[in-house]
Structure 1
């Protein structure tokens, strides 16, 4: 893996992390972002404001979690990131404390099918049971909720999404937060209950989404 490739990936990790703050998906240094480059995982550090990170602040670990680059400590949520890279083909992971998604995580065990974009995450979005942040227990709960999915909610905590790129992982996070906001908004109308999609309707949407954006 070339130094140039690592520098480009780090720049994308930092840029995505800053975007989570700008877009209101995290507050302060909460949340974290990572990208896999070969056998290395570049990850945001613990407790450092993203606007202070420089090209020289690269933090990299191997798939066993051993730090191989950088002087700053990796995020405390490293176990979640590593489990995703070990168990999936993910190239990027985004974890946030998005307001609406976190609120939904305290109310249900699965986000109701309020919109067909749930299909873009693999199906109905599950809520992983609560566990202390930064623990192997939380990572294990997350993996269960991610089975067959590319995103999930963490009870009383936030969101996790992954993808083939940082842009894709971030887009999935944004879609998840938006769906949570839609459901909360619709559910708040007194005397009315939101209509939900059926499993068959979601499957139909999933099939159509497979060809979305491809040349005819």
Structure 2
């Protein structure tokens, strides 16, 4: 990053300051939620949200409860810092890879305990629940690579093919969505399914029943229309 980061007052990328400020507020709230819900410890994990061609990201090594409106940190899609003075998350290559190659508007990365445990045992989370369909199918495990590297970014993109979530071997989880709420919900669902599988698989002498590909597909189609619809 050779360009000097600019301040929010520079009206970066011609986006309205209010839009950036609101997105940053939502990002910080989501990051704090990962701690409150015990999906991360301390400053582990990170969150990003896209506003136009700008990607707002959590900064590296700063406790989320200390982040303020003036701490907004943003980069362009090439990774050049264009907002703020705090150093962006060390996992920036991973976030940018997802934003550049998918329709993601938000990305959530955690070190959730049950999901990370599963990542050390399997190459794919068995389909023990129909919510597998909401993530595009059985969740794959991306092979291990050192955190913050382009190798890790490449590995996770392979694991995300046709999916909105993946596990990172001996590391954690990554999910994306159209909004921060959707990305976070997918993270929570993934952690819950990993907990479910570990619980069921631990029963001596019994093997968890798994859903078929057709059952997962049907569930995914039904879940795509789940929730309230605009009645107007």
TM tier, smaller = over 0.9
Deviations 1:150-178 (A, max 9, x none): 00000000000000000000000000000
The size of the alignment, in residue pairs, is 216
- d(CA) in 1 for partners of 2:217 and 2:87? 43
Superposition RMSD on alpha carbons, in Å? 0.9
Query: Quick one: distance in 2 between partners of 1:84 and 1:183?
Result: 27
What is the TM-score when the length of structure 1 is the normalising length? 0.98
Three-state SS of the structure 2 residue aligned to 1:89 is coil
Deviation at 1:210, TM superposition (A): 2.4
Cα distance in structure 1, aligned partners of 2:110 and 2:157: 16
Gaps of 5+ in 2: 1-14
What 5-or-longer segments of structure 1 have no aligned partner?
A: none
Matched, 1:109 2:123: yes
Displacement of 1:214 in angstroms is 5.0
Structure 1 segments, 4+ long, off by >4 Å, are: none
Per-residue Cα deviation, 1:95-121 (whole angstroms, up to 9, x for no partner): 000000000000000000100101101
Q: Which residue of 1 aligns with 2:75?
A: 61
Give how far 1:56 is off. Answer: 0.3
d(CA) in 2 for partners of 1:118, 1:58? 34
Match of 1:181 among 173, 189, 195: 195
2:158 to 144, 149, 152: 144
Aligned to 1:43: 57
Q: How many Å separate the matches in 2 of 1:100 and 1:211?
A: 28
Contact 2:134 2:219 in 1 (8 A): no
TM-score, normalised via structure 2 length: 0.91
